[in-house]
Structures are given as C-alpha cells and as structure tokens.
Structure 1
Amino acid sequence: MSLWKRFLMIFRSKANKALDRAEDPRQTLDYSYQRQLELLTKVRRGVADVATSRKRMEMQVTQLEGQGAKLQAQAESSLEMGREDLAREALKRKSGLNAQIESVRAQVAQLQGEEEKLTMAQSRLQAQVEALRTKKETIKATYTAAEAQTRINEAVTGLGDELGDVGLAVQRAEDKTAQMQARAGAIDELIASGALDDATAVTGGDDITRELEAMSSEAEVEAELARLKGAASALPQAAAPEAIEAAPASGEILAEEPETVTESDGTTQA
C-alpha cells in the first residue's frame, strides 16, 4: 500500500470517527423529515401545475368547440342564402377546428393521467412522511431517555469524563496534601532533634534558648527530687509511729548496754 493510500485511509477513519461523535440522531432525523416535507411540497406543486395545465387545455377545447359550433351555424346560414361557397369555407374551417380539438383532448387526457399518477405519488409520500414523523418522534424520545439515563448512571458511578476528571483532581489534591503533611512533620522532628536549624530564629538566640531550657529542666529535676524526699520521709512516720515516739530527745545520752561474755561451758555472764 502506497503512502498516499495509507494517508487517505487514516484521514477517512479519523474523519468518520469525528463525525460519528458529532452526529446527533435526533438532528439527523429532523433533517431527513425536513427533506421529506420539501419533497412532498414539490410533488404537491407538480400536481397543482399539471392540474392547472389540464384545466387550461379543457378551456381551450371548450373554446374550440364554441368556434366549431359557430362555423356550423354560419355554414347553414350561407346555404339558406344560396352562398354555397361560404358554406363550404365555413365547413373547412370547422374541420380544421375538429382536428385541433382532438389533439387538445388527447393532451388533456395525457395530463389527466399524469395528474392521477402524481396524486397517487403524493398520497403515498404523504403516508410515508406521516409514518416518518411518528417514528422520528418515537426514536427521539427513546434516544433522549437513554441519553438521560446514561448521564445519570455515569454521574452515579463516576464513569463520565467530567466526573472522572474531578475524581482524579480530588485524588491528586488529597495525595499532595498528605505528602505536604508528612513533609511538615518530618521537618518538625528534624528541627526538634537538632538535625536542622531554624532559619527564622534570631542570631544568638540559640544559647539563650538552651540556657532557658536547661534551667527549666533543672527546676523540674529539683521539684521531682523534693517530691521523692517528701514521700520517703512520710513513709517511716506512717509505718512505725511508736519507734518515733521512743526515740531519744535531742542531747539525751543512751545508757550503755552491759557486755556479755560467753564462757567455755556455754553459759553467758553480764
């Protein structure tokens, strides 16, 4: 296959596909119905023209017949007056008119036949147009209902082009939002751990911040230590109150306990 033929085939296929997408069956049916109406109008005009021609021919026949009758009367009058020559001339003219009348009558019969054919064609075309109109409206209503149902189903399922694009846009926005949130959290963790420096902080403020944090931490440690000491000192008071009461006062000297000596026989002496 030559390059030009391939180009024509591709062009025709693309054009056919584009036209198929752009074609609306309802508009096509309306256009076809309009063409049928135009054809029916032309047929009606043709019937009217033939009928008009036939009527004019019939009037011509009537006129010629009137002239023939007049010539017949003139011939009779001429014979009564003894003018045979005038009577003969009148009869010759009448004979010519008779031939002309027969020719016109033949044309009238031909026009009448054509008129009948056109009338029958008009009737058939009228029936076809009426049938096409009914079928057209039925197909248009069915197509409109199917189109509406398809759009509703696409809207519900998200299969439509516009809704599909909207769904993809929403998905992309959600993904980018999640990515931004993760990035912001990671940067916060890095700044908190000291792996990254805060570029917006004032120069020289890092030492002060660290000192304040150290003081705050030291204060928390001292407070916790004091709490633990208080808990530890409160525990023996609650557990052994009698021992606390028996404890010697300040400055009081405890009596020395007597020493005990264990003899070799196992007895003990003070």
Structure 2
Amino acid sequence: MNLGDRFVRLVKSNVNQALGAMEDPEKVLEQAVADMQRDLTKVRQAYAEVSASSKRAEEQSKLAQGEADKWYQRAQLALEKGEEELAREALGRRSQQLELVDNLRGQVEGNAGSLTSLYDSMKELEAKMAEAKAKKDQIIARARTAKAATKVNDMLSGIGDGSSMAAFDKMAEKVDKLEAEAEVSKQLAASSSSGIGSGSSLDAQFKALERGGVDDELEKMKRNILPQSGVDDELAQMKALMEAEKDGEKK
C-alpha cells in the first residue's frame, strides 16, 4: 500500500469515528420535537388554569359586589329604624365585601395580561411546532440519504482498491492465456486431421515429381553421350544403298 492509500484510509477512519461519535440527527430531532410538544402542553395547561382562575375570580367578584350591595341596603334599613350601631356594623361588612371585590377585580385584570401572554406563547409554539415538524422530516430524510451515500461510497471505494483491481487484472490475463492456448490447440488439431487423410497422396505426388526429374536428367545425359550429326546420317544411307545393290546382283 502506497502513502496515498494509507492517507485515504486514515481520513476515512477518522471521519467514520467522528460520525459515530456524533449524535444521531434523527434521534436528536425527534427528542427536540417531543420537548417542544411537552412545552406546548404545559403552556396550554397553564392557559387553561389561568383562564379558569380568572373566571372564578370574576364570578366571586360579582358575588362579593352583590354582598356589598346587600349590606348597604341593611345599613339603610338600620338607620331608618334608628339602629345606628347596627347600621355601622352593616357598613363595615359592606366595606369588607367591596375590598374583596377590588382584590378579585385586580386578580381578573392581572389574569387578563397573563392570558394574553400565554395565548401568544401558545400560538408561537404551535407555529414553531409545525415548522419544526416540517424541518425535522426534511433533515431526517437528508441524514438518511447522507448515511446511505456514505455506505455506498465506502462499498465502491472498497471494490475499487488496488488489491481488488489487481485480482481482476490477474484473472483477465489468465483467461487471455487460456484462450491463446485453446486457439493453438485448435490449429494443431486441424493440421493433424488434414495430414491423416492426404498424407499418402502427398508423398506420392512428391515422389512422382522426383522421378520425373531423374528421367529428364537421364535423357539429357543420353543426348550428350550419343550425339547425332549429318555425317552419321549419310553413312547410314550409303550402307543402305550398298545393301540394296548386293541384293540386286544376287537376283
């Protein structure tokens, strides 16, 4: 393994370790949405409690105002009857109820401010919840895609490393060698099969050619050894005439 391959493997190892150490985005986002949902539930509960408390305070304020009015009427009746001390007592009770009315109304007014704040917070959280859920789905999809891409890239890089490609090259070279040996074997087999059927005739043809060459050479030698000329022909003719004359005399 060369220095470049070692560096690539080292970087990949460090990246994988870093990714493993990181929190799972899907789990983190799911937990974040769950926390927001829990906060929204608390705000809604608080809004409901404050709203209910405000309604009770308002009802109690109305009751206290009614009691104050009743004690005022009793004070008037006591004065009409000449019962000044009793009237004073009635006015004291009326004062207590009016004080209660003021406290309850202050509570209602204070609750109104709290209700407005809680309502705004609740609506804001609801909007953020909807946005968070939409982003959560998108980010989770991206995280899953990134993880899948990382796995595929790791697989591809593993397939394309030097040792794997060397194995492929070695096998391809071996197959080329086997194919070449098969082609040579095929040619040898074809040559052997053709020689078996026509070997004898081929030998005969060459022998005939060889014999023809010998005969030609012999004929040439004869011509050189026994040359023919005009004198020889004339001598032969004279011998023939002489033989003819002898035959005539005998007759």
| One of 158, 180, 183 as aligned partner of 1:165 | 158
The CA deviation string for residues 141-190 of structure 1, in whole angstroms up to 9 with x for no partner, is: 6x279649x849x96xxxx22233345585465467579889x9xxxxxx
Amino acid at match of 1:23: D
Q: In structure 2, do the counterparts of structure 1 residues 105 and 16 end up closer, same or farther at CA, with 3 Å as the change threshold?
A: farther
Taking the aligned partners of 1:48 and 1:72, their CA distance within structure 2 comes to: 36
Change (3 A) 1:15 1:113: farther
Looking at structure 2, the residues matched to 138 and 93 of structure 1 have their Cα atoms a distance apart, in angstroms, of 66
Q: Which residue of 1 aligns with 2:187?
A: none
Distance across 2 between alignment mates of 1:51 and 1:41: 15
1:105 is matched by which residue type in structure 2?
Answer: R
Task: Give, as a single letter, the amino acid of the residue that structure 1 aligns with 2:75.
Answer: A
Between the two structures, name the one with larger relative contact order (CA 8 Å, sep ≥ 6): 2
The whole-number CA distance in structure 1 between the counterparts of 2:17 and 2:208 is 98
Aligned position for 1:19: 21
Q: Please give the TM-score of this superposition, normalised by the length of structure 1.
A: 0.51
Residues 42, 67 of structure 1: alpha-carbon distance in 2 compared, 3 angstrom cutoff: same
Q: 1:16 to 1:70 in 2, by over 3 A?
A: farther
Name whichever structure is richer in helix by fraction.
2
Residues 1:62 and 2:62 aligned together? yes
Q: Which runs of 5+ in 1 are unaligned?
A: 1-12, 185-223, 248-256, 258-270
Name the aligned partner's letter for residue 123 of structure 2. S
RMSD over equivalenced CA pairs, Å = 4.6
**Corresponding residue number in structure 1 for 2:106:** 106
Q: Could you state the TM-score of these two structures normalised by the residue count of structure 2? A: 0.54
AA at the equivalent of 1:117 = S
Match of 1:35 in 2: 35
Amino acid corresponding to residue 108 of structure 2 in structure 1:
V
Report the equivalent of 2:52: 52
State the alpha-carbon separation in 1 of the partners of residues 165 and 16 from structure 2.
33
The residue number in structure 2 matching 1:231 is 206
* Letter matched to residue 162 of structure 1: M
Which amino acid in 2 is paired with 1:114?
S
| 2:118 match | 118
Task: Tell me what 1:79 maps to.
Answer: 79
The aligned amino acid for 1:81 is K
Aligned to 1:123, the other structure's residue is in SS state: helix
Which structure 2 residue ranges, 5 or more long, are not aligned?
1-14, 179-198, 227-251
Q: How far did residue 57 of structure 1 move?
A: 1.1
In the aligned structure 1, how far is the partner of 2:139 from the partner of 2:202? 90
Q: Which residue of 2 aligns with 1:94?
A: 94
Q: Deviations over 1:216-270 (max 9, x none)?
A: xxxxxxxx899758733553248848x79xx9xxxxxxxxx9xxxxxxxxxxxxx
Q: Describe the SS at the equivalent of 1:232.
A: helix
1:36 partner letter: M
Once the two structures are TM-superposed, the CA of residue 94 in structure 1 deviates from its matched residue by 0.9
**DSSP 3-state at the match of 1:45:** helix
TM-aligned CA deviation for residue 115 of structure 1: 1.7
Kindly state the Cα deviation for residue 61 of structure 1 after the two structures are TM-superposed.
0.9
